[in-house]
Structure 1
Amino acid sequence: MSLTDPAHLTAKLIRCPSVTPIEGGALVLLEELLGKAGFVCTRADRGEVSNLFARWGDKGHPRTFGFNGHTDVVPLGDEAAWTMPPFGAEEKDGFMYGRGATDMKSGVAAFAAAAIDFVQSTPPEGAVILTITGDEEGESVDGTTALLDYMATEGEAMTACLVGEPTCPDQMGEMIKIGRRGSLTARFTVVGIQGHSAYPHRANNPLNAMVRLMDQLASHELDQGTDHFDASTLAVVTIDTGNTATNVIPAQVTSAVNIRFNDAHSGASLTRWLQEETAKIATEFDLQINVDVKVSGESFITPPGPLSDLVAAAVEAECGVKPTLSTTGGTSDARFVKNHCPVVEFGLVGRTMHQVDERVEVAQIHQLKAVYSRILTNFFS
């Protein structure tokens, strides 16, 4: 049996221009490859989003290991600034260049290659499931959630899952994610009375209220961290009036804040706090302030235990590094998988993800496949 080359597969995936929500041929390629290896493949598409579910082994087996990942990528940015073709997968000095090289076509290629070789060389007593979406970099409403909805409808289930996102800041093997902070965005609109800046008493300046509100929120200490999480953070990300004149008090101002929160909070508790603070400022300045809150994910943690031990042992064996168990960084689709089964994340060094000239060290793709292969072997042993 010839082994599946994860670097070759990464290159083929990079050459698929799959900018969210365009499928670009990436899932078609994987479906064909996995189908030939004996996986039962189903497209769980929803809306404009393409999703792939693939299972080897018996449906509903109580010992089922799952991988989750995405083939969609962020836009190129300034294409003229790229020194290598963004969908070329060209190699230079041991690196492969292209959009998605790090985030996360290499991760998908590594776990697909590991799964194919594992079930063909040592067919396990159990099942292996791959859930791959084309909507992780976008709104994420029709991606992994659609796959999980499909699984629930069809009676499919994973015992444990590994998300192949890049998790290592600088060195291969240094970090496993066992949880993620929650993410909340709040948008505020203050409606005042427009007027001449020389006669402020004849107007009601919405900026005064907005600046006070933003200062109150940004100055507030949400917490000092918890057992597995750093302190929650709130960032003011925009304040806008659309006003280009210096002699006009605007009629309206909008702003937004983003909160990354730990397990001391929930989206609901933070929403209540934001509404209370907003109401105080609205009363103080006698102005109407509207607040619209969107929670894109709650904080979660998979407590250290059998799954993190399994992954950590494989990482240390293949990378020679004892990984840190972390909850740092942004959000990922693990926030959806955690409602289905225990989930952790492990993948490559992510320093160039979303950047111009995104690239991956080719040797690390092979190393990542080796980690995933060892995880499968040990899980089913």
Structure 2
Amino acid sequence: MNPEDAEVADLAQQLIRRPSRAGIDGYEPVLSVLENWLGARDLPFRRLHDAASRPVALLVEVVCARPGPWWALDACVDTAPYGDESAWTFAPDGGDVVDGWLRGRGAADSKLAAAMFCRIAAEVRDRADALRGGLAVLLDADEHTGGFGGARAYLTDPAAVRPAGVMIGYPGLAEVVVGGRGLWRATIAVHAETGHSGARRAAPGAVSRAARLVQMLEDAELPPAGGEFPLPPKLTVTSCHGGEGFSTVPGRCELGIDLRTTPAFDARAAEALVRAATAGLDRHLPTPRPTTLTRVAEWPPFRLTEAEQPAAALLTAAAQEGLSVRPKTAGPSNIGNLLAAEGIPATAGFGVWHEGLHGLDERACLADLPVVHAVYRRATLGLLA
């Protein structure tokens, strides 16, 4: 491994050894490691904060000598929880390297990418006199909460230059993720008249009505994949909460609905489908209080063509480094959807081979680091040229 990649691996080890599980650990230790590394190399950085003044990210900003658009690299430095630590075969915060694998929570998602992007910021700074625009590196400490506080703080920061595009450092060597399904999420409150479960005559309770609604939703016809977007929409009932004990007919049951959307079946179509199902329930099993729906989240789907930046730069750089990669549209949503809602094109995945992401024994293959580093370096310098 060359000195630059050894430096990246060493920084990633330090980051893994500072647990930063979303909603569990404080982020001060992991942010301090990054600040010490960046400060020792005279790279300009600053913390970003949320509305409650909590630090949610570090933003590195490298200004180039000539005018031009800014581009951004983004990697999260918070992580998923460990799960059952007794089931791991090594320490989740060990950060050791064994047989060429960097081991520990965050090795794959995405502390190795964060370390690599810090190194690329240094490489861009050293060549800034010949480059245009600028490079932002967003090190997000509020990604795994689902709130994406770091990205939101970046996009609303009046001092930050809005990027022309973003490359997000999720792992995976065979593909460049250029799109993802959107989402529409809602909670549904199903109501019924309460009473004693042993009464001679009792109308269906809220749980029974909710069960009927679940069946109606799962039987609803969704359109197939079509056109340039390769995935179909998908509806999942993700939660069901209602009732208490045995002697009372439940008066309320709440469902969680997750609907993955596409350009042909967007958030408006998703809401129309769910509202039609709830109206049908209230017609066939009427109660004095109608079923109510509360929207929780809504993100658009996105997909870049192979000719659009920054997808074109990353795909071209991978080919020039001898890799055979394909563009992919992801089923799960990601931070690229948030950026798409802001009109900012993004790639959302290309990196080293990995195992155990969000699961047991997470690890990342360091043998892939030199070529992945070279691809991102080449793509970034090409965009800034």
Which residue among 313, 316, 329 is the counterpart of 2:316?
313
Spell out structure 1 runs of 4+ moving beyond 6 A. none
RMSD (Å) for aligned C-alpha atoms: 2.5
The 10-residue stretch of structure 1 (92-101 or 33-42) with the greater mean CA deviation from structure 2: 33-42
Query: What amino acid is the match of 2:169?
Result: G
Q: Is the 8 A contact 1:45 1:52 kept in 2?
A: no
Which of 70, 76, 92 is the aligned partner of 1:70?
76
Greater shift in the superposed pair: 351-360 or 302-311: 302-311
Q: Aligned pair 1:140/2:144, yes or no?
A: no
- Taking a change above 3 Å as real, the CA distance of residues 316 and 118 of structure 1, as seen in their structure-2 partners, is same
> How many percent identity over aligned positions?
21
Q: Which amino acid aligns with 1:220?
A: A
CA contact (8 A) 1:60 1:155 kept: no
- CA 1:329–1:27 in 2, change beyond 3 Å: closer, same or farther? farther
Change (3 A) 1:319 1:100: farther
Distance in structure 2 (CA, Å) of the matches to 1:95 and 1:155: 36
Q: Distance in 1 between matches of 2:322 and 2:8?
A: 17
Matches of 1:123 and 1:81 in 2, distance apart? 51
Question: Which residue pairs with 2:9 in the alignment?
Answer: 7
**Which residue does the alignment assign to 2:36?**
32
Q: What is the count of residue pairs matched by the alignment?
A: 372
- Deviating more after overlay: 86-95 vs 294-303: 294-303
Q: Which runs of 5+ in 2 are unaligned?
A: none
CA pair 155-88 structure 1, distance change in 2 beyond 3 A: closer
For 1:294-305, what aligned pairs fall within 5 Å after superposition?
Answer: 294-305=296-307
State yes or no: 1:129 paired with 2:124.
no
- CA shift for structure 1 position 244: 4.7
Which residue does 1:224 correspond to in 2? 224
1:250: how far off?
2.7
Q: SS at 2:147's partner residue?
A: coil
Per-residue CA deviation, residues 286-344 of structure 1 (Å, 9 max, x unaligned), is 123222221242212223314222211222333521x2212123222222333253221
User: 143, 162, 168: which one pairs with 1:163?
Assistant: 168
Match of 2:293 in 1: 291
- Asked if the contact 1:176/1:345 (under 8 Å) is kept, the reply is yes
Aligned to 1:100: 106
Query: Cα distance, 1:253 vs. partner?
Result: 2.1
Give the Cα separation in 1 of the matches to 2:225 and 2:42. 46
Map of 1:344 onto structure 2: 347
Structure 1 segment 169-184 matched on structure 2, within 5 A: 172=173, 174-184=174-184
For residues 335 and 110 of structure 1, what CA distance do their matches in structure 2 show?
Answer: 23
Q: Does 1:375 align with 2:383?
A: no
Question: Do the aligned residues in 1 keep the contact of 2:62 with 2:124 (CA within 8 Å)?
Answer: no
TM-score, normalization: structure 1?
Answer: 0.89
Q: Which residue of 2 aligns with 1:204?
A: 204
Distance 1:209 1:328 in 2: 34
- Give the whole-Å Cα distance in 2 for the aligned partners of 1:111 and 1:234: 36
| Conserved 8 A contact 1:237-1:258 | yes
C-alpha deviation, 1:162, in angstroms: 0.6
Cα deviation digits, residues 337-367 of structure 1 (max 9, x gap) = 3325322123234542110211111212333
Deviation at 1:24, TM superposition (A): 4.1
